Amino acid sequence: MASSLVSRNHLTPRPAAASTASPCSARLAVRRARGLVGGVRCQAQASDMDGHYMRRCVELARKAAGHTSPNPMVGCVVVRDGRVVGEGFHPKAGQPHAEVFALRDAGDLAENATAYVSLEPCNHYGRTPPCTEALINAKVKDVVVGMTDPNPIVASKGIERLKSAGIDVRLCVDEEASCRKLNEAYIHRMLTGKAFATLRTTLSMNGVVVNHIGSGADQPGGYYSQLLKEYDGVIVSSNLAKTNTLPISHEAGAKQPIYIIIAQGENSQLNIPFLKEECASEAVVLTDTPISVEPAGVEVLVLDQMNLDGILQLLAQRGLCSVLVDFREVGGGIASLLNNFQDDKLVQKVVVELLPVWTVSKGPSDLAFGGSQSFPLKDVEHKEVNGCVLLQGYV
């Protein structure tokens, strides 16, 4: 008897500002088809709508990708009577947190509303006052958090503070994984004291490391341009810095990563021709022997031991959460840094670009047969099967 009532009830409270169809109504249709709903009030409504608004928080938070370190990316949505009345995200370190922007946006409508935040609100005075106080002062009724904050000075204290003020707090279990993925680098830095490292390389289709990136990859919308935008730093070899343009993201509003230039066994002088003098502060040279660097003004750090573990700790101390290790030459300075990366758990992620070419290589283990010339392959297709990426192309 109640199934039609249930469906009407739950089709009505659609969020006004939501751009997608109500997830609750869609799931209800499935449940009704399976005979799961009849006569029972929709148990799924709260969690479905929680997931819906939490996904919006993640979407908002990502607008500041690359800008927030050492802080996390955070988004916040304020909902009252099934309607979004305020939205905000943390734009960069030193600026107000997401909750403050969303509460400002909501104004008086925040009273008795539900605040969704992708990360547990802070409860300490940093460069800005605690967000818990802002939520309490705004008189919100409940708070839904995407994940607890691994930062030891926040960890669960924000939730405890809200609860002690009489605010209901719940975790959005369905979206916890996406909230954690959003801030994987921040979480890693908090838990390990090291920057989150992603190894990037380009291979030809016969598995040979190629010392350049694919055509269009660094143009606006290209994968490399988009990737750079997400990282606080990019580790490159001194060979690349000497001979090639340094990596730049061409995405609108992108904050460029800091260049970490690995100079092992360099002579007394390193010239970085593509780095303009006014941008000298955007690079740091890590070396095992004192050298002078052109342009002037580039910071040079002589390390006792040139290893990735120490470098990632150093970068984390400097507030970098994420670094891209741009690996282009098998014999270059970066190769030795990567010797034990898996055993020491120093690299968390790998991005491999495959070029549609068959490359001639000098390495004994490489597939160098097929003549003396590298050649492009045509009509390349790819698909993923059981975690394997399959490639095929025509000679």
**Which C-beta is closer to Zn ion: that of 77 or that of 199?**
77
Smallest distance from Zn ion to CB 311, Å: 30
Total number of residues that touch Zn ion (CB under 5 A) = 3
- If DSSP codes are grouped into helix, strand and coil, which group holds residue 198? strand
- CA–CA separation, 47 and 49 (whole Å): 5
Helix, strand counts (H, E) of the chain: 12, 18
> Considering 99, 175, 251, 266, which one is annotated as catalytic?
99
**Which C-beta is closer to Zn ion: that of 122 or that of 355?**
122
Q: Is the peptide bond before 70 cis (omega within 30 degrees of 0)?
A: yes
**Which C-beta is closer to Zn ion: that of 121 or that of 233?**
121
Kind of pairing between the strands at 388-394 and 378-385: antiparallel
Q: Which of residues 47-66 bind Zn ion (CB under 5 A)?
A: none
Smallest distance from Zn ion to CB 98, Å: 7
**Which C-beta is closer to Zn ion: that of 134 or that of 246?**
134
3-class SS letters over 4-41: HHHHHHHHCCCCCCCCCCCHHHHHHHHHHHCCCCCCCC
Q: What one-character DSSP code corresponds to residue 107?
A: G
**Which C-beta is closer to Zn ion: that of 11 or that of 153?**
153
Q: What one-character DSSP code corresponds to residue 202?
A: E
Q: Is the peptide bond before 295 cis (omega within 30 degrees of 0)?
A: yes
Q: What is the DSSP string of 308-377?
A: HHHHHHHHHHTT--EEEEEE--TTSHHHHHTTTTTTTT---EEEEEEESEE-----TTS---S-SS-EE-
Q: Is 175 a catalytic residue?
A: no
Backbone angles phi, psi at 287, to 5 degrees: -140, 160
Smallest distance from Zn ion to CB 142, Å: 18
- CA–CA separation, 15 and 140 (whole Å): 18
Which residues partner with 21 through β-bridges? none
**Which C-beta is closer to Zn ion: that of 135 or that of 236?**
135
Smallest distance from Zn ion to CB 257, Å: 25
Smallest distance from Zn ion to CB 126, Å: 8
Smallest distance from Zn ion to CB 29, Å: 38
Smallest distance from Zn ion to CB 99, Å: 6
Sequence-ordered alpha helix ranges (H) in 155-263: 157-164, 176-182, 184-192, 223-229, 238-243
- If DSSP codes are grouped into helix, strand and coil, which group holds residue 52? helix
Q: Which of residues 106-135 bind Zn ion (CB under 5 A)?
A: 122, 131
Contact 143, 121 (CB under 8 A): yes
Q: Which of residues 83-102 bind Zn ion (CB under 5 A)?
A: 97
**Which C-beta is closer to Zn ion: that of 76 or that of 254?**
76
**Which C-beta is closer to Zn ion: that of 72 or that of 332?**
72
Which residues partner with 165 through β-bridges? none
Contact 257, 251 (CB under 8 A): no
| Residue 263 within binding range of Zn ion, rule CB under 5 A | no
Smallest distance from Zn ion to CB 123, Å: 8
> Which residue in this structure is represented by tokens 């580039």?
298
Distance of CA 36 to the CA centre of its chain: 38
Which residues belong to the active site?
Answer: 99
The residues of the shown chain that bind Zn ion, judged by CB under 5 A, are 97, 122, 131
